[in-house]
Amino acid sequence: MEYRYMGKANVKVSTICLGTMHFGGRTDEKEAFRIMDRAVEIGINFFDTANVYGGAGRTEEIIGRWFQQGGGRRDRVVLATKVYGQMVREEPVPPNEERGLSLYKVKKHVEGSLRRLQTDHIDLYQVHHIDRHISPEEFWTIFDTLVTDGKVLYTGTSNFPGWGLAKFQMAAEKRGSLGIVSEQAQYNLLSRYPELEVIPAAQEFGIGIMVYMPLAGGLLTGKTKREPGSRTQAVADEYGIGARMDDLLREFSQLCRDLGEPEHVVALAWTLATPGVYSAIVGARTAEHLDGLERASELQLPNEVVQRLNDLFHIRYSRPLKAGPAPEAFAW
């Protein structure tokens, strides 16, 4: 397993990050424990979760119980979670519990995450989506205080546009604080829009990129069938996969066969070859889904292969933009 610095933070994480979104839903607790044990065994030291995963904290609770098995599990993991989403299920939703950020809300939500995760600190605390209403002053009052109190070590973002990274990072610089060290963006051969502004902005401000959906929900794993109602079919519908894209995926599979490498290994290696990307999240549903990830971490694609992939999946064949400004145009 290869390791890289987490943006400008002087901490190293595995280039493959374990995604836990399925824990408590499609993956039961017993299998989740197997997945986490296997991940640590193959050298993955970076876990990503969110307070909303599994249904209002269920995933964080599973990770917390895994930590409590002992054996130095917590100390072997750089732990990332997120805040922004709605955590209450009552209707109507209380006005200060809707999606978004505030000092009032985050103070409660960070305590909830710490309790569920059964830990005294979060290594990387990420804002799950940009909130246009919060001021930079309140934003950094929140996260600088959490760092000072020792509850959070580093601040990260997710689904931010380039302008959002610039806005909040410049405010952090004025305060003399470390600021954002990581941006989590949806990026893969079929979703290239972060190349336009997000990745360049991140590089300009010393923010590392961690990628979610590097396999496009399974589309880049060589699957030839997409079952109705499956995660892969849902992503295919969102990406607008038609006849032309199916042809591209077949060409991609042939290229991988020519290389003698599985599709998921090549897709991950291409993502990790992008300047500024330090880790790619793989959301395993079973322990077997981790097979081959060491190869993806270590594989150095020849420049000509990277160019062939770039030519094949040109940005004009990327997922269609939705109506509205960034980041809503390319993020949830």
Q: Is 184 helix (H, G, I), strand (E, B) or coil?
A: strand
pLDDT of residue 146: 98
**Residue-wise pLDDT tens digits, 248-275:** 899 999 999 999 999 999 999 999 999 9
Residues 6+ apart with CB under 8 A from 89: 56
More confidently predicted of 234 and 187: 187
**Catalytic sites, residue numbers:** 53
Q: Is the pLDDT of residue 224 over 70?
A: no
pLDDT of residue 229: 67
Structure tokens at 106: 């985050």
Query: What are the structural domain ranges in the chain?
Result: 3-218+264-303
Q: Is the pLDDT of residue 23 over 90?
A: yes
> Among candidates 194, 130, 199, which has minimal Cα distance to 168?
130
Q: Is the pLDDT of residue 234 over 90?
A: no
For the entire predicted model, the pTM comes to 0.93
Q: Is the pLDDT of residue 218 over 70?
A: yes
Name the least confident of 86-90, 120-124, 249-253: 86-90
Q: Give the architecture (CATH level 2) of 3-218+264-303.
A: Alpha-Beta Barrel (3.20)
Tell me the C-alpha to C-alpha distance, in Å, between residue 34 and each of 14, 63, 319.
19, 12, 34
Buried b or exposed e, range 144-161, using 16+ CB within 10 angstroms: bebbeeebbbbbbbbbbb
pLDDT of residue 130: 96
Q: Is the pLDDT of residue 226 over 90?
A: no
Determine the Cα angle at 167 with ends 162 and 168, to 5°.
Answer: 105
pLDDT of residue 275: 95
% of the chain with per-residue pLDDT over 90: 78
Please give the full DSSP string across 117-137, using - where no structure is assigned: HT-S-EEEEEESS--TTS-HH
**Residue-wise pLDDT tens digits, 279-304:** 999 999 999 999 989 999 999 999 99
Give dist(CA 320, CA 69) in Å, integer: 45
Residues 60 and 31 sit within 8 Å (Cβ to Cβ): no
Q: How does the average pLDDT of the chain come out, rounded?
A: 93
